[in-house]
Every structure is written in structure tokens, then in C-alpha cells.
Amino acid sequence: MENTAIFLDRDGVINEVLTKRVKFVNKPSQLHFLPGVPEAIKKLNEVFDYVLCVTNQGGIGLNFLRESQLHAIHDHMISELKKRGAFIHDVAYCPHKPKAGCECRKPQPKMLIDMANKYNIDLSRSYMVGDNYTDIQAGKKAGTKGVFIGESEPLADAVFPDLLSATDWIIKDSKNSSFQE
């Protein structure tokens, strides 16, 4: 049987971005979890085989950030979550400039499809959670359900103000008999 996964966008879903405290995350000390994120990921870990992060990081292509810095940020994120009993199993990122026309930048589904192939994931039983319409588009193109963090996104299957409030719906929906083969 194939595995299930939650694909999480990073900035605006897992951590703060464009807040009073931090504009962009360019070093580990600038990564601040949004309220309830460790608890939400811990709950998702109990139900899904994988919790994966898929993130556009155009700052690399724009020379605001080096890949080594991004790896340090992601290592820090994973280790801080682990201290709280929450696990992100892997991170995929697009390093290209926003208008580079690459295949991996969301709304293209390549990051999700590559992760699905790597971990034998059934995309039809998985979810993409994001705070931008491009996240939801990438999930839909890959074949997942889409959960939008924010106020409104017509393409999404559900909309919630934050990851923690979305978690119970995701878990309940994943156990819905019509969703399982």
C-alpha cells in the first residue's frame, strides 16, 4: 500500500514571514514558528506516514540567500520541531528566481511529484497546505487535496486561519470512508 503525506509550505504556514519580528528568513535565528505549529505537526505525524515541506525559495536565485544558509535554516527548523516531538521528514525547495520558468517552482507540481516518487506516496490520499494560491494550484496539479491558510481561496478544499485549526479537519477528512480506497 502506498504512503500518505502532508505537504506543508514553509513561510506563512510553518513560520512567520513579513511580520513585525521578521521580514524574510535568511538565517536560523529568524525562523519563528507560528502559534500551534509544533502541536499541529505532532498530531499530523500520528496519522500520516510523512510530513514534508515544499517551499519556493527564490531568494537563492536573487542572491539574497546562499543554499548553505537555507540548509542551516531547514536543519534548525527540523531540530527545533524534533525537540517538541514533531517531525518533518524531508524538505524540497525551488531555488530559482520567481520568473525563471523552472519546473519546480510552485504552482508547478514537480516538488510534490518528486517527493511522492521518493517516498511511495499516494497523492490522491495526501494534502497540500499553503498560504498562497500557488501552493493550492501545485497540490491540485499533483493530485492532492488543498488546504488554504488564510481568509479565502476558491480552489481549496478547506480554508482555515492557521495550521493548528486545519489539522483536525485534515485528520477527519483523511479518515472519511469516501476518501479511502
Q: Tell me whether residue 122 is one of the annotated catalytic residues.
A: no
- Residue 73 Cα to chain centre, angstroms: 15
Alpha carbon dihedral 113, 130, 90, 127, in 10-degree steps, equals -60
Rounded distance between C-alpha atoms, residue 72 and residue 77, angstroms: 9
Q: Among 9, 49, 131, 135, which one carries the catalytic annotation?
A: 9
Q: Tell me whether residue 9 is one of the annotated catalytic residues.
A: yes
Q: Which of 125, 172, 132, 164 is nearest to 148 (CA)?
A: 132
**Residues labelled catalytic:** 9, 11
